[in-house]
Amino acid sequence: MKVFLNSFENSSSSITKNQVATILNKTIEEAGFKQEEFTDKELSISCVSEKEIKLLNKKYRGKDEATNVLSFGVDELLTKNLVIGDIVLCIEIIKKEAKEYSKDFENRLKHMIIHGFLHLLNFNHEAKHERIKMEKIEISILKNLGIKNPYA
């Protein structure tokens, strides 16, 4: 999979492109997909300000508030099945949440990358059973990365 990282250099994170690739590959496996299905796919991950993510959240989700991560899937027919979508991260909010939840910022950021990617893989947390399934996958991936359960 080809991954484009946008504005990551401004994120004050030390997460590398190789680490992001590892996170995404573990997510693919844990979610029950085969790596081969993603060989020719493209994914964009962008870091934006709190103001920018609030505008995106209002425009696309009708919620007039900032959030930690947004995922935007694409019409596969228009992109000829090449583009998976976009993950938009708000570093400011992720840092605030890490502090609020007493979590390491880098670990919280990795969690949000996984969370956003799972949304692009059609997982959601609208209903309780869906939330439990999604959280179980997130916990397993994070454990595999040596990160404690973020929900504990």
pLDDT confidence of residue 129: 93
pLDDT tens track, the chain, 152 positions: 999 999 887 778 888 899 999 999 999 999 999 999 899 899 999 999 999 999 999 999 999 999 999 999 886 655 566 888 999 999 999 999 999 999 999 999 999 999 999 999 999 998 999 999 999 999 999 999 999 999 98
The bridge status of strand 83-90 relative to strand 69-73 is antiparallel
| Structural contact between residues 39 and 2, judged by C-beta atoms closer than 8 angstroms | no
Q: What is the pTM of this model?
A: 0.93
- Could you tell me the CA-to-CA distances from 73 to 2, 105, 147, 149 in Å, in that order? 16, 26, 27, 27
